[in-house]
């Protein structure tokens, strides 16, 4: 395979797997890593070289010249392909942008390889590109081991991989999909200095239906939800330390219950983000490495709320 042409890589994927719609972003990312990133360090310089090998130029753009609300974009003019990213963005943000745009370019190339292929619509293409970029940057086999080693510690994983907490949180939900029940959310202050859910993820145990929580969606905050005065996250912000609820009961009668840990990210003695992680009480051992490391303030229990 001629790796100097991204179109040839797309043709290779189609020849191996058939319709790209039947190939997960995880598989596409694994093939991309195997072909372009085998035995090389994954950093910004490497990704720019890989893009160049694929026939794509990469260019930084000053914030004031970048279209509003965009971290990056790409242009295709004839055979010339270019990716543009915010020059002032973080290194991890630029890496993500380059891979995101490569995946979007791939979607167009699939139609060149096979004229019968129906490309993804705009939103689906954007979501696929996000998944692809994250799967390349945080490969499943090694990342899931780190997830367990750290006790599902999103902030620690973010530091180890030099990636944003939001990207690590969403990736954690992806790699644990089907393995166990978990809910996790990233809280941030909004313009009114109210703390709200910026990102959240959830997964279930597909092999044991009794190892999940059903019918309690109202207890798990979704995007945009503001914290309440008695929430675990609020307590963690006020105390400026990790806080653990050892048992959250969902019913007045005795039920199995949940365990929840809120961990703030403290910068210059000020909480800037809070990660909330919730598991079934029976799965406490999964989060125990994080508990042992952080020694959180312990709260005996809540009833029906987080």
What pLDDT, on a 0 to 100 scale, did the predictor assign at position 252? 57
The pair of structure tokens assigned to 67 is: 């279209």
Domain 140-303 has CATH 3.30.450.130: yes
- pLDDT tens digits along 21-42: 888 999 999 999 999 998 888 9
pTM score, whole prediction: 0.87
Q: Is the pLDDT of residue 217 over 70?
A: no
Of the chain, the percentage scoring pLDDT greater than 90 comes to 72
When pLDDT is cut at 50, 70 and 90, the band that residue 206 belongs to is: confident
What pLDDT, on a 0 to 100 scale, did the predictor assign at position 94? 95
What pLDDT, on a 0 to 100 scale, did the predictor assign at position 3? 59
| Sequence spans of domains, the chain | 6-137, 140-303
| Other Cβ atoms closer than 10 A to 71 | 15
- pLDDT tens digits along 73-123: 999 888 889 999 999 999 999 999 999 999 999 999 999 888 888 889 999
What pLDDT, on a 0 to 100 scale, did the predictor assign at position 116? 87
Q: Say if residues 50 and 99 touch (Cβ distance below 8 Å).
A: no
φ, ψ of residue 11 to 5 degrees: the values are -65, -40
What does 237-283 look like in DSSP terms, one character per residue? HHHTS-EEEEEEESSSS----EEEEEEEEEETTEEEEEEEEEEEGGG
The set of residues, in sequence order, having a beta carbon less than 8 Å from that of 133 and lying 6+ positions away, is 95, 96, 99, 100, 103
Mean pLDDT of 174-200: 94
DSSP-based three-state secondary structure for 226? strand
Domain 6-137 has CATH 1.10.3470: no
Mean pLDDT of the chain: 91
């Amino acid at each position: 395979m001629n790796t100097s042409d991204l179109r040839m890589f797309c043709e290779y994927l189609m020849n191996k797997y058939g319709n790209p719609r039947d190939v997960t972003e995880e598989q596409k990312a694994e093939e991309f890593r195997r072909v372009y990133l085998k035995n090389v360090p994954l950093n910004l310089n490497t990704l720019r070289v890989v893009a160049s090998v694929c026939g794509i130029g990469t260019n930084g753009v000053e914030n004031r010249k970048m279209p509003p609300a965009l971290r990056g974009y790409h242009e295709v003019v004839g055979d010339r392909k270019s990716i543009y990213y915010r020059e002032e963005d973080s290194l991890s943000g630029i890496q993500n942008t380059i891979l995101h745009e490569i995946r979007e370019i791939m979607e167009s190339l699939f139609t060149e390889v096979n004229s019968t292929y129906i490309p993804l619509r705009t939103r689906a293409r954007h979501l696929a590109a996000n998944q692809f970029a994250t799967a390349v940057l945080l490969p499943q086999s090694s990342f899931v081991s780190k997830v367990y080693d750290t006790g599902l510690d999103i902030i620690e994983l973010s530091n180890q991989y030099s990636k944003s907490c939001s990207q690590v949180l969403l990736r954690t939900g992806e790699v644990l999909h089907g393995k166990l029940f978990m809910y996790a959310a990233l809280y941030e202050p909004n313009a009114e200095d109210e703390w709200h859910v910026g990102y959240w993820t959830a997964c279930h145990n597909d092999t044991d239906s009794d190892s999940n929580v059903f019918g309690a969606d109202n207890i798990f905050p979704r995007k945009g939800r503001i914290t309440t005065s008695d929430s675990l996250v609020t307590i963690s912000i006020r105390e400026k330390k990790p806080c653990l609820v050892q048992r959250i009961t969902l019913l007045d009668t005795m039920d199995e219950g949940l365990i929840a840990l809120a961990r703030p990210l403290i910068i210059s003695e000020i909480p800037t983000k809070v990660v909330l992680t919730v598991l079934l009480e029976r799965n406490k051992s999964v989060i125990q490495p994080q508990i042992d490391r952080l020694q959180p303030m312990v709260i005996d229990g809540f009833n029906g709320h987080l």
